[in-house]
Amino acid sequence: MSARKLHLAVAQMGPVQRSDSRQRVVARLLEMLREAHSRGATWVTFPELALTTFFPRWSMEDPAEVHAFFETEMPGPLTQPLFDAARALGVGFYLGYAELAGGVQYNTSILVGRDGGIVGKYRKIHIPGEAATREGQAVQHLEKKYFEVGDLGFPVWQTPDAAIGMCICNDRRWPETYRVMGLQRVEVVMVGYNTPSGYTQWDEPLHLRMHHHLLSLQAGAYQNACWVAAAGKAGVEEGNPMIGGSCIVAPTGEVMVRTFSEDDEVINFVCDLSASENYRANIFNFAAHRRPEHYGMIVSRKGAQAPDGGA
Ligand code: CDV
């Protein structure tokens, strides 16, 4: 088995405050892109909604106020420097942002190739939170209010370096996300996230936030024999703490490298893509061992029902 190496970087971001301009945020991203390049990395994963603060924590009714967080073109004048740097340095990247397309709002990521061109786009499918504001609650999670469900599926793109797929934040907790990409022989799944340390809609002990984050990434990587590169937005944003824990996970399910801080931080790892082959040929040889004839309920049924048909 010959080794195929891919040098991945993950660029975690510290908090982005509402007053931070796009120029200032893009300057931070550029600095990390250059840092990744200086270490030899050829692909970088940035977080979900990387260009702004995590605005679904606020209830807003004025469309102009909401749309200030969205991009109507990609690249636009303020994000073009990222594309120029990708081409100049030969470094591809994943970038999450809020997309306004034909009047429809999506939570989106793009994959930009090492030539600075857009390889592909993904729109978040598993949208968490609520559509209705909780009265009297200062901190909301209103992703269902601000984003439509993505309409692009879970594609995988064959780049010259690797087969790369994307997902966004809450998608990483769902096994279907990885399996649909695993069935396309994905080699690297890139994922950006914004995970508040305290989830206002649900009382979960703090220590489980990081545990479930890592558990999901590690299970997805192992069960689909792929690498996972996960970049979070961390630290205290507008008074709200967000988990860090950005990392690169191997097809063994092991975390190979992980951030230390809750600030802007680049981590990198030289991934052996051939590490997937052992798993694909043996324990997770899909063609030999999967039994889709017994999996119909996964796509025909949405919510769980008790065996007697009760809810
Ligand atoms: N931005 C997110 O999708 N956040 C979610 C919520 C549930 C905290 C997450 O899964 O991390």
Identify whether the C-beta of residue 164 lies closer than 8 Å to the C-beta of residue 157.
yes
Cα 216 to middle of ligand 1, angstroms: 12
Measured in whole angstroms, the distance separating CA 89 from the mean position of its chain's CA atoms is: 23
Q: Residue 176 catalytic? A: no
Cα 267 to middle of ligand 1, angstroms: 22
Least confident of 9-18, 131-140, 148-157: 131-140
Q: List pocket residues of ligand 1, CB cut-off 6 Å.
A: 48, 128, 169-170, 173, 193-196, 199
For position 288, what pLDDT does the model report? 98
Residue 311 confidence class, pLDDT cut points 50, 70, 90: low
Residue 2 confidence class, pLDDT cut points 50, 70, 90: low
pLDDT tens for 248-297 read 999 999 999 999 999 999 999 999 999 999 999 999 999 999 999 999 99
pLDDT tens for 86-100 read 999 999 999 999 999
Q: Residue 48 catalytic? A: yes
Summarize the confidence of residues 5-23 as an average pLDDT. Answer: 98
For position 294, what pLDDT does the model report? 98
- Between 203 and 214, the more confident residue is 214
Burial class (CB in 10 A: 0-12, 13-18, 19+), 304: exposed
For position 274, what pLDDT does the model report? 96
For position 206, what pLDDT does the model report? 84
Residue with token string 């088995």: 1
Query: Using CA atoms, how far apart are residues 238 and 44, in angstroms rounded to an integer?
Result: 26
Residues contacting residue 151 through CB under 8 Å, at least 6 positions apart:
123
| CA dihedral of residues 295, 227, 265, 74 (deg, nearest 10) | -70
Helices (H), the chain: 22-38, 63-67, 80-89, 143-146, 175-182, 206-223, 275-281, 286-289, 296-300
For position 310, what pLDDT does the model report? 64
The structural domains of the chain, ordered by start, are: 5-289 (3.60.110.10)
For position 198, what pLDDT does the model report? 78
